[in-house]
């Protein structure tokens, strides 16, 4: 699981029957330091994430199989919409 920012949508003329009713979003993976990953990816969404939203992306596939059936080709899905992110406090040298 990782965080990503939604940067757009993807539209397909045809799609696998298990994906009817799902939206395809274009997302950029967010690295630990807040920077954007190398290349965008397409993820499946049924939670209603909007453009600019930060989302949790599951790469497990179990969530999609449970929701869409065992034969779905989808793997990366929006598992949650993030309200805010609080980075961990950096440890100061010499202090615990």
Residue 84, both tokens: 């805010």
> Is 90 exceeded by the pLDDT of residue 88?
no
Q: What pLDDT does residue 91 have?
A: 47
- Listed by start position, the domains of the chain span 2-82
- Reference 1, options 85, 50, 63, 89; nearest CA is 63
Domain 2-82 bears CATH identifier 1.10.3720.10: no
Q: What pLDDT does residue 51 have?
A: 96
- What CA–CA distance (Å, rounded) separates 61 from 75? 5
Question: Rounded to an integer, what is the distance from CA 3 to the centroid of its chain?
Answer: 6
- Give the tens place of pLDDT for each residue, 15-69: 999 998 889 999 999 988 888 987 999 999 999 999 999 999 999 888 888 888 8
The residue that leads in pLDDT, 95 or 70, is 70
Determine if the pTM surpasses 0.85. no
């Amino acid at each position: 699981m990782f965080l990503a920012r939604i940067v757009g949508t993807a539209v397909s003329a045809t799609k696998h029957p298990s994906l009817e009713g799902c939206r395809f979003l274009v997302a950029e993976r967010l690295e630990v330091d807040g920077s954007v990953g190398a290349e965008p990816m397409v993820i499946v969404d049924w939670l209603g994430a909007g453009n600019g939203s930060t989302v949790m992306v599951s790469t497990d596939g179990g969530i999609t199989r449970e929701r869409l059936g065992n034969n779905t080709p989808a793997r990366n899905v929006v598992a949650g919409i993030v309200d805010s992110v609080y980075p961990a406090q950096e440890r100061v040298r010499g202090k615990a």
